[in-house]
Amino acid sequence: AVWHPPAKFLGETVRAVKAIFAAWEGQSPLDFRGEFHTHTLMPPNFNPGPNPFGPPPVLMGALGPIMTRTAAEVADGLLVMPFNTVRHFTDRTLPAIEEGLRRSDRTMAQFPIIPQMMVAVGHTDQQLRAAVDGVAFLIAFYGSTPAYRPVLDAEGWGGAHHELNRLSKIGDFAGMRALITDEMVERIGVVGSPSECAAEIGRRFGDVADEVCCYFPAYEPDAATVAALV
């Protein structure tokens, strides 16, 4: 088997999808020939024709610097992984975005960044405790995966990865949860009342993002609470 860098493969996939969209828009015949993908046939019965709203943007999700740079080079926007911190985003994500945009001769204003956030929100102590537990369980799952260790390393928590990974292999999910501190939940996610969470999300991403995708893992806030975040 031949191993191909995932970022290289996905970068070409984005280009291939855009070539198909361009063919549907009538901008050019379909003739995409890459290292991994070849698309040269577009029968009329497979062609829906131009989209009245224009071709949809192609967004990429990324965490590491190579995939993030690739997204900024070829995609129409970036979905920032929810397992992240301010330090990791500032020190690793933003420089990779800037390099990718430089390669594609674009600016930040031309490239939407959509952060995804794990949010522990509630009005009462009981609600907040349940929300924090939900976020902590998801953080433990992410943290057990080797690809996500750089986020923990950025905060000086890299040592927790080994134990999380070990516990995941024996199914000790309660033990994994116990390793996630309130500080980890607050740095990777956001915690508080709706107004506190909204203010913290704005503080972290207000300068680079117009929208944020909020996760409420393993709990369901009421509609009024969610509306108060907007």
DSSP secondary structure letters along 185-222: HHHHSEEESHHHHHHHHHHHHTTT-S--EEE-TT----
Q: Residue 56 and residue 54: Cα distance in Å, rounded?
A: 6
Instruction: Give the model's pLDDT for residue 170.
Output: 97
Dihedral sign for Cα 218, 119, 85, 80, please. positive
Secondary element (H or E) of residue 39:
strand 38-39
Contact assessment for residue 209 and residue 115, using Cβ atoms and an 8 Å cutoff = yes
| Number of residues assigned to the chain | 230
- 222 vs 152 pLDDT, higher one: 152
Angle at 31 between CA 30 and CA 32, to 5 degrees: 110
pLDDT tier at 184 (50, 70, 90 boundaries)?
Answer: very high
Neighbouring CB atoms inside 10 A of 121's CB total 27
pLDDT in tens, 38-51: 999 999 999 999 99
Instruction: Give the model's pLDDT for residue 5.
Output: 74
Interval 194-210 mean pLDDT: 95
Instruction: Give the model's pLDDT for residue 4.
Output: 54
Contact assessment for residue 13 and residue 59, using Cβ atoms and an 8 Å cutoff = no
By C-alpha distance, which of 185, 183, 178 is closest to 139?
185
pLDDT in tens, 25-80: 999 999 999 999 999 999 999 999 999 999 999 999 999 999 999 999 999 999 99
pLDDT in tens, 111-148: 999 999 999 999 999 999 999 999 999 999 999 999 99
Burial pattern 145-173, b for ≥16 Cβ within 10 A else e, equals eeebbbbbebbebeebbeebeebbeeeee
Backbone torsions φ then ψ of 215, nearest 5 degrees = -100, 140
Q: Residue 165 and residue 158: Cα distance in Å, rounded?
A: 11
